[in-house]
Chain A
Amino acid sequence: MKREIPLIITFIAGTVFVVAYFVPHSPFNRAESLFNDWFAILAAFAIWLGALNLLKICALKVSRRSKDWYLGFVIIVGFFVTVAVGAYDGVVGLSNVPATAFRDPGTNFDWIYRNVYTPLSATMFAMLAFFVASASYRAFRARNFQATLLLLAGFLVMLGRVPVGDLITGFLPPAYQMSQWATWIMDFPQTAGQRAIMIGIALGIISTSLRVILGIERSRLEGE
C-alpha cells in the first residue's frame, strides 16, 4: 500500500489537470480549481517543512557545539526575528481600517526586506559577476569553430549592451554599430537556438510527465 496509494494519487492529480485542459467544464474545471487551491496550501507547508528542517539541523548544531555552531544560532535568530516581525505586522494590519498587508511600504517587515533581505540577495547575485568573469577567462578559448561562435556571441552581446561598444564602432553608420549587432544576435540567431531548446524541453517534459502520471516512472518511491 505504501507504493500503490502514492501512484494512484499521482495518477488522479495529473489526470485532472490534463483532462481539465481539454474539457474545461464541470466537474473537471471544479476539480482543477480545488487541486490548484490544495497545491497553493501544500506549497506553504512545503516551505514550512524546509524551514523547520533547517531549524532542526541548526538547533542540533548549536546543542552539540559542533564546528561553526554560532552560524546555526545566527540562522535561528534571523529566522525567528523575521517571522515574529511578519506575524506582528500581519496581525496589526488586520485590525487596521482599511486592513493593510504585512509587507506594505512602511511596515517593519518591509524595512527588513529593504535593508536586510534585498542587499544580501542582490550582493550574493552580484558576486557571481566576478566568478563568471573568472570562469569565462578559463573556459572561453577559441579551440574550434563552435567555441569561437560561443565566444563571439558572448563578446558581441556584452559589448553591445554597454556604451563603449557603440563608441568603438562610432565610425560606422548607426545601423551597423555594436548595439545593433547585439540586438540582431538576440533577436534572430539567439531566438532560433532558444526556440529549438524550448521545443526540446517541452517534448522532454511531456514525455516525462506522461511517464510520471501513468506510474511508469516511480524512482521516487524507491526505498520503500
Chain B
Amino acid sequence: MGESVIGAWIAAFLTLGILTFLYKDNVIYKISEAIFIGVSAGYWFITLFWDNLYRKFWVVGIEGGQWELWGGIILGVMMLCRLSRKIGWIARWPMSFIIGAVAGLYMMLYFTSNAMVQIRSTISNLTESVNVGDPYYIIGNIVVAAGTFSGLVYFYFSKEHKGVFGATAKVGIWFIMVTFGAAFGYTVMSRMSLLIGRIDFLLSDWLKLIS
C-alpha cells in the first residue's frame, strides 16, 4: 500500500470522524478533535521554532553577530515564567512589550489602511466615475459614498439620533444590515465550498467513485 493511499485513508477517517458530530457528540469525534488540537499545537510550535527562532535568532543573531536580538530571547524566557505561580509576574514585562508594540503598530496601520485609504477610495472612485461618465459606476459610487457617510453617522453616539441626523443614521443602519447580510451569505458559501471540497475528497480521492 502506497504512502498516498495510507494518507488518503487516514484523511478520510479523520474527516468522517469530525462529521460524526452531526449525529451527536461521540467518542470518535472527541478523539479526532483531540488529534486536531495536538497536531495544531505541534504544527505551530515547530513552525515558529524554525521560522522565527532559528531564522531570526540563530541565523541572524548568533551566526550573523547581531547580539541585540538576545533582547527578544530574554523577553521570551521571561514570558515562559508565566507557567510558574511564584515568578509568573515576570511575564508582565514581555506581555507589556507585546501590548505596546501591537498598539503602536496597529494604530498606524489602521490609521492608514482602514481610515485614510478607505476615505480616499470613496471620494476618488466617485470623482473618477463621474469623469468617465458610466451611469452604472456613477450610481454605484454615489451609493458607496452615501452609505459610508450615513454608516459613520450611525456610529456617532455622542449626539442623539434625532431629526436629520437620526434619519441619516437610520439610512446608515440599512447599509450596515445589507453588509451583514452579504457577509453572512458570503461566509455560508465559503463554508459550503469547504464542505463540497471534503465530500469531493471522500468520493474521488478516497473511494474513487468519481473521477
Contact with B along A43-58 (1 / 0, CB 8 A): 1111111111110100
In the complex, the answer to whether A6 meets B38 with C-beta atoms within 8 Å is: no
Interface contacts (Cβ under 8 Å), in number, total: 409
- For the complex, would chain B's binding face be called helix, strand, loop or mixed by DSSP majority? helix
B83 CB, min distance to chain A CBs, angstroms: 6
* Nearest chain A residue, comparing its CB with the CB of B148: A195
On whether A220 and B99 interact (CB within 8 A), knowing A18-B108, A190-B178, A206-B110, the answer reads yes
In the complex, the answer to whether A115 meets B38 with C-beta atoms within 8 Å is: no
In the complex, the answer to whether B53 meets A41 with C-beta atoms within 8 Å is: yes
* Nearest chain A residue, comparing its CB with the CB of B52: A44
A202 to B111, CA, bound (A): 6
Complex contacts, A201 vs chain B, CB 8 Å: 110, 114
In chain B, positions 36-90 with a C-beta closer than 8 Å to chain A are 36-54, 56-57, 60, 68-69, 71-73, 75-77, 79-80, 82-83, 89
In the complex, the answer to whether A52 meets B83 with C-beta atoms within 8 Å is: yes
In the complex, the answer to whether B69 meets A80 with C-beta atoms within 8 Å is: no
Selected from A109, A152, A203, the residue in CB contact (under 8 A) with B181 is A152
Selected from A2, A127, A158, A191, the residue in CB contact (under 8 A) with B188 is A158
In the complex, the answer to whether B10 meets A123 with C-beta atoms within 8 Å is: no
Contact with B along A70-106 (1 / 0, CB 8 A): 0110111111111100110010000000000111000
A128 to B41, CA, bound (A): 22
Question: For chain A, which range describes its interface: under 10, 10 to 19, 20 to 34, or 35 or more residues?
Answer: 35 or more
In the complex, the answer to whether A191 meets B144 with C-beta atoms within 8 Å is: yes
Complex contacts, B48 vs chain A, CB 8 Å: 43-44, 47-48
In the complex, the answer to whether B56 meets A78 with C-beta atoms within 8 Å is: no
Complex contacts, B35 vs chain A, CB 8 Å: 74-75, 78, 116, 120
In chain B, positions 164-211 with a C-beta closer than 8 Å to chain A are 172-189, 191-192, 194-195, 197-198, 201
On whether A195 and B151 interact (CB within 8 A), knowing A6-B96, A115-B8, the answer reads yes
Complex contacts, A35 vs chain B, CB 8 Å: 101
Complex contacts, B40 vs chain A, CB 8 Å: 117, 121
A213 to B93, CA, bound (A): 14
A37 CB, min distance to chain B CBs, angstroms: 6
In the complex, the answer to whether B146 meets A192 with C-beta atoms within 8 Å is: yes
A21 to B110, CA, bound (A): 12
The number of residues on chain B lying at the interface, defined by a beta carbon within 8 Å of a beta carbon of chain A, is 117
Selected from A41, A147, A152, the residue in CB contact (under 8 A) with B57 is A41
* Nearest chain A residue, comparing its CB with the CB of B114: A202
B124 interfacial contact with A, CB 8 Å = no
In the complex, the answer to whether A83 meets B45 with C-beta atoms within 8 Å is: yes
B150 CB, min distance to chain A CBs, angstroms: 8
Complex contacts, B42 vs chain A, CB 8 Å: 51, 78-83, 86
- Considering the complex of A and B, which 6 residue pairs feature the smallest CB-CB distances, nearest first? A78-B38, A196-B151, A192-B147, A193-B179, A82-B42, A17-B104
